[in-house]
């Protein structure tokens, strides 16, 4: 069963209702919530948000595994684990009755696991040693996003079978576009099942067809462009991989349905910047189009309004009246106060614009911290801010 998308609503009329606050603890505590997907453009705090949500859920009694796709390995550092790999590992220092495991996606290892599970040992070895496969599994555009989906499917199946976890938190890849996470599985499976790949498979299926003039001309052209060795590697890979084509598409479809299911909740993560909120708006619309369950928007690193009753204009006017030779420090502080007020006002306008275009989206605004998060204490602080954000 899938959730219906939220209704498309036009801009708010003057005096319309403010967006409702995001109930983070209600989401984490609900046993029906099995998967939380944190998505958004790069550099908006997805990894910190994912880790903070996972830790808070674990310390409130859930059995959690968090999957990160962060090349900087910040998650491992903040959770006190020397290194993360493709195997879930317990996080020490978790308080309460729950548990927390963490892992980092290794797309090559995940791809290898798929091959080993789907092919007989001899064919699997042919695939794993093939140069074209090695390039595909490590650097092909979309492979990381596809393997993130693949690993999510594996974790969910394992959780259902063993009961080891009751909540999976996913930190999506730092893609150029947040939409890549949804597009990549179909793009990769389409590539593997595409007409060009199928044509390369022709020699393995019918020697007579190889002799066609059209195919011969194409092969000669590709040989000149790619080299005979590369073309041969591709043909050998496709011939060995043929039995796995259908499985890739089937698993991509199954995981896509899992993302649409009632037990899944998407959190769109953004920063209070035009590009990040524009990307968040695109993702909210896409989730609606794909009938995927959106829990809400998290706006990270919001500027706190400075104390005091002076407006930006009044602060600047007061600074101008001071003698620059005697009161330079005071004038500087007044200008800094005005700059901060302007930043807060700009961020507020950006959030209001998003809310006007998407009035049904619950929102949490998290203030910027004075320093980077680098341990469990910092993650707890972020989790607490998320829970009481308005």
Give the tens place of pLDDT for each residue, 78-102: 888 877 888 999 999 999 999 999 9
Spatial CA neighbour of 65 closest among 147, 159, 149: 159
What's the pLDDT band for 227 if we cut at 50, 70, 90?
Answer: very low
Q: What is the pLDDT of residue 266?
A: 96
Beta strands in the chain (DSSP E): 35-39, 63-68, 89-90, 99-104, 167-171, 264-270, 294-302, 363-367
Q: Does an H or E element contain 44, and which?
A: none
Spatial CA neighbour of 170 closest among 269, 317, 82: 269
Nearest 10 degrees: Cα torsion 311, 312, 313, 316: 120
What's the pLDDT band for 13 if we cut at 50, 70, 90?
Answer: very low
Q: What is the pLDDT of residue 264?
A: 96
Residue-range domain boundaries for the chain: 24-193+249-306+352-388
- The mean of the pLDDT values for the chain is 79
Phi and psi at 187, nearest 5°, equal -65, -45
Q: How far apart are CA 277 and CA 297, in angstroms?
A: 10
* Inter-residue contact 266 to 2 (CB < 8 Å): no
Spatial CA neighbour of 272 closest among 305, 304, 302, 306: 302
DSSP bridge partners of 261: 2
* Inter-residue contact 33 to 265 (CB < 8 Å): yes
Q: What is the average per-residue pLDDT within 158-170?
A: 95
pLDDT at 386 over 80: yes
Tell me what percent of the chain is helix, strand and coil, each rounded to the nearest 5: 55, 10, 30
Q: What is the pLDDT of residue 8?
A: 33
- Contact partners, residue 234, CB within 8 Å, separation at least 6: 132, 200, 226
Spatial CA neighbour of 172 closest among 278, 55, 264, 290: 264
**CA atoms within 13 A of residue 158's CA, in its CB half-sphere:** 14
- Contact partners, residue 326, CB within 8 Å, separation at least 6: none
- Contact partners, residue 278, CB within 8 Å, separation at least 6: none
Q: What is the pLDDT of residues 258-268, one digit of tens each?
A: 989 999 999 99
Q: What is the average per-residue pLDDT within 35-62?
A: 93
| CATH superfamily, with its number, for domain 24-193+249-306+352-388 | P-loop containing nucleotide triphosphate hydrolases (3.40.50.300)
Higher-pLDDT residue of 139 and 43 is 43
The predicted model scores a pTM of 0.80
pLDDT at 226 over 70: no
DSSP 321-366: HS-TTT-HHHHHHHHHHHHHHHHHHHHHHHHHHHHHH-TTS-EEEE
Q: What is the pLDDT of residue 356?
A: 92
């Amino acid at each position: 069963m899938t959730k219906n998308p939220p209704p498309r609503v036009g801009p708010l009329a003057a005096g319309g209702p403010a967006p409702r606050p995001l109930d983070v603890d209600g989401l984490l505590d609900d046993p029906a919530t099995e998967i939380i997907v944190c998505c958004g453009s790069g550099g908006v705090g997805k990894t910190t948000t994912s880790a903070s949500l996972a830790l808070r859920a674990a310390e409130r009694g859930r059995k959690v595994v968090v999957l990160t796709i962060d090349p900087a390995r910040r998650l491992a550092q903040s959770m006190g684990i020397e290194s993360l790999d493709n195997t879930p590992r317990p996080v020490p220092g978790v308080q309460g009755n729950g548990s927390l495991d963490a892992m980092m996606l290794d797309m090559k290892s995940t791809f290898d696991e798929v091959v080993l599970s789907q092919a007989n040992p001899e064919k699997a070895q042919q695939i794993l040693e093939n140069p074209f496969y090695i390039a595909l599994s490590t650097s092909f555009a979309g492979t990381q996003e596809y393997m993130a989906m693949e690993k999510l499917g594996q974790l969910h199946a394992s959780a259902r079978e063993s009961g080891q976890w009751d909540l999976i938190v996913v930190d999506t890849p730092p893609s150029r576009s947040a939409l890549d996470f949804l597009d990549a599985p179909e793009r990769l499976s389409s590539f593997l099942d595409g007409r060009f790949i199928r044509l390369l498979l022709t020699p393995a299926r019918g020697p007579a067809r190889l002799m066609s003039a059209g195919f011969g001309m194409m092969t000669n052209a590709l040989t000149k462009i790619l080299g005979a060795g590369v073309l041969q590697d591709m043909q050998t890979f496709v011939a060995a991989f043929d039995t796995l084509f259908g499985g890739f598409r089937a698993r991509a479809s199954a995981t896509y349905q899992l993302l649409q299911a009632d037990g899944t909740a998407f959190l769109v993560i953004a920063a209070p910047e035009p590009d990040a909120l524009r990307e968040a708006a695109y993702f909210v619309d896409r989730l609606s189009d794909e009938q995927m369950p959106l829990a809400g928007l998290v706006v990270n690193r919001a500027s706190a309004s400075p104390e005091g009753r002076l407006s930006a204009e009044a602060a600047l006017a007061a600074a101008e009246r001071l003698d620059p030779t005697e009161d330079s420090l005071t004038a500087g502080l007044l200008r800094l106060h005005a700059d901060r007020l302007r930043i807060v006002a700009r961020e507020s306008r950006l959030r209001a614009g998003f809310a006007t275009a998407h009035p049904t989206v619950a929102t949490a605004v998290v203030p910027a911290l004075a320093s980077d998060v680098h341990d469990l204490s910092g993650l707890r602080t972020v989790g607490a801010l998320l829970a009481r954000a308005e």
